[in-house]
A = this chain, B = another copy of it.
Amino acid sequence: MASNGGLNPESDDFENRPNFCIGQHDSNRFETLSDDQYRQFNFVTTPITNQHFFRRVVDLYKCHLAEREQWRQDRGLTSSQLSNQSLPAPIVPTLTNKDTSYAPSSYVGSLVAYASPWIDLCSSNPLISSISRQVLNLEVAYANFCGARSIIIPGPREDEDSRGIALYARAIQEALQVTTRANLIIHMPMYREPGLDEKAEMLSSLFADANGAEACAVKEIDLFTAWDSWHTIRSVCKYSTQLFVALRIPRRLPEKDLQDRWFAEPLHYLSIGPKTFQPNRAGHPTLTPNHQQLINHYMRLKNAPWLILCDVGPSLEDLNEAQDHLATDFPSLAEASNALKENRRPQQPPQNPYAGYMRYLERHQAPFSAMETPTLTSFQDWLQSPLQPLSDNLESATYEMFEGDPVKYDQYELAITEAMAEWKVLKKPTSQAPSNSDLIVAVAGAGRGPLVTRVLRAAEATGTAIQLWALEKNQNAYVYLLSKNEREWGGRVTVVKTDMREWQGPALKGYTAFFSKVDILVTELLGSFGDNELSPECLDGIQRHISRPHGISIPHSYTAHLSPIATPRIFADLSSRSHGDPQAFETPWVTRLHAIDFVSQKVPRHGRFQQAWEFVHPVEVSRADEFAEEEGTRFISPGGGSMTGSSGTNDHNARHCHLTFVCRTRGVTHGLAGYFESVLYAPQAAGKEPVEISILPDQIDRKSKDMVSWFPIFFPLKQPLYFPQDAELEVSMWRQTDDTKVWYEWMVEVYAWVGPETRIKVGASELHSSRKIACLM
């Protein structure tokens, strides 16, 4: 294994897999570490306050209870009478230097602040929840003052009910008001694993007594309650971009659905306790293959989460003993902090067996694939404004990027080759006079000519005599095409500068005013959703030049597909954009969706990805204007059109679909992921497969593996739409058009099955529309 450079940290390609940033948390730690302790971690947690502060707060509380009781007895009141009085809760005194050993320091970047686990923000006892809020505010404010970048706050307690969560969430929202630079990270379990509560609970018993210990009946585990709590917290905090999750990896992994759910959430840390590790034969800690897979999966996030090993030693005593001889060998926390800042790895040989095992996992990750280059990764979940394909002229670099995808052009070449070969075999007549039987091929929207090259190659491969036309409206690309025709294509191409919709057709040889027809029309006008860059309208405008009945359009047809997804990060991004951009939630965004969760299931009658609609070319029936004539009046203008004020000339390119998606577990959706597939050419010969391209997640590998030309499209929802278990999401989607523009509209309704026969409506989104930013025809 040592011979494999990829696994050797010293080798050149070592960096081609995700880095692990490994830290340590000790729930028995009550004082901040000094710089030279814990040298073998990238970072360590630090408590914000110490035992002195804890005792002060407990004393304050006990003292207050005693006073209240005395006061109640003096007045002969019952307890409930007492609670109706506006009795002030005790006010937690401000921190002093006795209450904390945490302070601004050179190594503050390697210290992750950990808020006191003994508070209970959810408590139904107003005194306890009030004291807890005060403690949290004091600690967060102090940690922020000290320069903490991350403050971890223990999640709500196990036995919280829905009321408690609202209180917890509200307290976090308040704490976010003081964190000018620090992020708040809620430490949540992946699910509430029975019998695995961590030490955090220890000190709360003092409070539990006063609170009247709540009944802790053994219940069936509901896997999604922890996620539910998190969802409430971040919803109340309005998807703050300063709010993250530290996810506790459980000993027993839950179903895939729940793992995927958390994948989409803003994971800042993964925390792993000693019980999650299992000893191998030699007694060293290891993780199960499933755990390894989970961690490898999460590590592929654009911002890979950091790892926190909890209570895995070494203990402070061990350390103090070892300190002397460690001091020279390994970097101090300050050195680690600098390394983190510069995003490089400090030299840290694994001392701790748990950390050592994690480093082993780090080395054994699969290297980054061709689809995981830094450039492609940087596009993950990054929102691109949609193009105005007909009014924007592209720059050369943009063309170059599009041309850099061999998969797409290989498929085009294959389609053109098949079409030409079949044309010959079937002995179809060309649109030319019999005396000249060259096949006439046109590439419309030729750009810098990649499809022209492919057409020429296909003609050579099939030995087809062709006349080739290249149309381009971009005057700058036109220059490039002319030069390419001289340099590379040997003048075999007729380059025309024109909007394809205004072209007069291929002029007959020797004529300028007599025209033939096109046998094969090749275009690449497709968008992420198939028709979203006006391919149907452009092809409408040129299809009169296609010869009938044999003329071919490549692509032959394309379909648009949808799937509802959860994507909290994109929702947070859009929420912050929406202040400046009122159309943010009405825009179909092109984005390389990655940290998402497909919320629906594939079930017998409904897929996870469902087809919205299809376009087939050429359209066989001519324009609708013919219908508009009537006896008595010479010509009556079409007056209708589904859109007001339009005359309906593009109505045949309008579409509507209504799709039902099935969700088994409860969750939330933030919008619809859109994809497309296209049949470039469908051979007529029996048994021949169509030549296709696809960006559908479940089809791309089969139909056009590693094709990167298109990212998916995302239709957002203004409000996250919650749905209960056994729900159905009813998606209504429109491709709308008046005579001059094309846009989309979408709406989602939620229904829940509450019995074998009964389905009730439980919610709906607004009707969204991109009309205001419509594509201009």
Which of A33-41, A56-64, A378-386, A502-510 sits within the interface?
A: A56-64
Choose from B235, B651, B760 the contact partner of A130 (Cβ within 8 Å).
Answer: B651
Q: Which residues on B sit within 8 Å (CB–CB) of A616?
A: 84-86
Q: Which residues on B sit within 8 Å (CB–CB) of A238?
A: 766-767
A482 adjacent to chain B (CB < 8 Å) = no
**Interface SS of chain A:** mixed
A389 adjacent to chain B (CB < 8 Å) = no
A578 adjacent to chain B (CB < 8 Å) = no
Q: Which residues on B sit within 8 Å (CB–CB) of A96?
A: 633, 636
A64 nearest in chain B by CB position: B627
Interface members, chain A 591-636 (any B CB < 8 Å)? 614-616, 619-621, 623-625, 627-628, 630, 633, 636
CA distance A170 to B649 in the complex (A): 20
Q: Which residues on B sit within 8 Å (CB–CB) of A177?
A: 644-645
CA distance A656 to B126 in the complex (A): 9
| Docked-complex contact A762 and B722, CB < 8 angstroms | yes
**A623 with B88, Cβ < 8 A, contacts A170-B745, A658-B163 known:** yes
| Docked-complex contact B94 and A732, CB < 8 angstroms | no
**A656 with B167, Cβ < 8 A, contacts A645-B178, A722-B761 known:** yes
A666 adjacent to chain B (CB < 8 Å) = yes
Choose from B91, B162, B653 the contact partner of A627 (Cβ within 8 Å).
Answer: B91
| Docked-complex contact A135 and B640, CB < 8 angstroms | yes
A641 adjacent to chain B (CB < 8 Å) = yes
**A642 with B763, Cβ < 8 A, contacts A88-B624, A627-B63 known:** no
Choose from B235, B734, B752 the contact partner of A764 (Cβ within 8 Å).
Answer: B235
A724 adjacent to chain B (CB < 8 Å) = yes
CA distance A647 to B90 in the complex (A): 11
A721 nearest in chain B by CB position: B763
A161 nearest in chain B by CB position: B658
A458 adjacent to chain B (CB < 8 Å) = no
A648 adjacent to chain B (CB < 8 Å) = yes
CA distance A134 to B637 in the complex (A): 13
Q: Which residues on B sit within 8 Å (CB–CB) of A653?
A: 86
A254 adjacent to chain B (CB < 8 Å) = no
| Docked-complex contact B91 and A648, CB < 8 angstroms | yes
A754 adjacent to chain B (CB < 8 Å) = yes
Q: Which residues on B sit within 8 Å (CB–CB) of A621?
A: 71, 85, 87-88
Interface members, chain A 515-569 (any B CB < 8 Å)? 536
Q: How many whole Å from A552's CB to the nearest CB in chain B?
A: 16
A90 nearest in chain B by CB position: B627
| Docked-complex contact B752 and A642, CB < 8 angstroms | no
A140 nearest in chain B by CB position: B644
Q: How many whole Å from A704's CB to the nearest CB in chain B?
A: 22
| Docked-complex contact B734 and A170, CB < 8 angstroms | yes
A194 adjacent to chain B (CB < 8 Å) = no
Q: How many whole Å from A537's CB to the nearest CB in chain B?
A: 11
| Docked-complex contact A652 and B763, CB < 8 angstroms | no
Choose from B619, B651, B725 the contact partner of A760 (Cβ within 8 Å).
Answer: B725
A639 adjacent to chain B (CB < 8 Å) = yes
| Docked-complex contact B170 and A620, CB < 8 angstroms | no
Q: Which residues on B sit within 8 Å (CB–CB) of A725?
A: 760
Q: Which residues on B sit within 8 Å (CB–CB) of A293?
A: none
A747 nearest in chain B by CB position: B166
Among A171, A636, A644: residue with most chain B CB under 10 A: A644
Choose from B163, B644, B654, B761 the contact partner of A178 (Cβ within 8 Å).
Answer: B644
Among A134, A652, A730, A766: residue with most chain B CB under 10 A: A134
| Docked-complex contact B236 and A747, CB < 8 angstroms | yes
| Docked-complex contact B648 and A761, CB < 8 angstroms | no
A319 adjacent to chain B (CB < 8 Å) = no
A312 adjacent to chain B (CB < 8 Å) = no
Q: Which residues on B sit within 8 Å (CB–CB) of A628?
A: 91, 93
A496 adjacent to chain B (CB < 8 Å) = no
**A630 with B170, Cβ < 8 A, contacts A228-B761, A616-B86, A725-B760 known:** no
A76 adjacent to chain B (CB < 8 Å) = no
CA distance A221 to B361 in the complex (A): 63
**A235 with B766, Cβ < 8 A, contacts A130-B651, A620-B85, A628-B93 known:** yes
Q: Which residues on B sit within 8 Å (CB–CB) of A87?
A: 619-621, 652
**A614 with B84, Cβ < 8 A, contacts A166-B658, A627-B64, A641-B137 known:** yes
| Docked-complex contact A638 and B764, CB < 8 angstroms | no
A83 nearest in chain B by CB position: B614
Q: How many whole Å from A212's CB to the nearest CB in chain B?
A: 18
CA distance A453 to B569 in the complex (A): 63
CA distance A91 to B621 in the complex (A): 14
Interface members, chain A 107-137 (any B CB < 8 Å)? 126, 130-131, 133-135, 137
Q: Which residues on B sit within 8 Å (CB–CB) of A633?
A: 96
**A722 with B763, Cβ < 8 A, contacts A178-B645, A745-B170, A754-B752 known:** yes
Q: Which residues on B sit within 8 Å (CB–CB) of A636?
A: 93-94, 96
CA distance A763 to B719 in the complex (A): 11
CA distance A177 to B641 in the complex (A): 14
CA distance A710 to B88 in the complex (A): 29
> Could you list 10 A-B pairs, sorted by A, with CB under 8 Å?
A87-B619, A88-B651, A91-B627, A94-B637, A94-B638, A140-B644, A170-B767, A177-B644, A238-B766, A752-B752
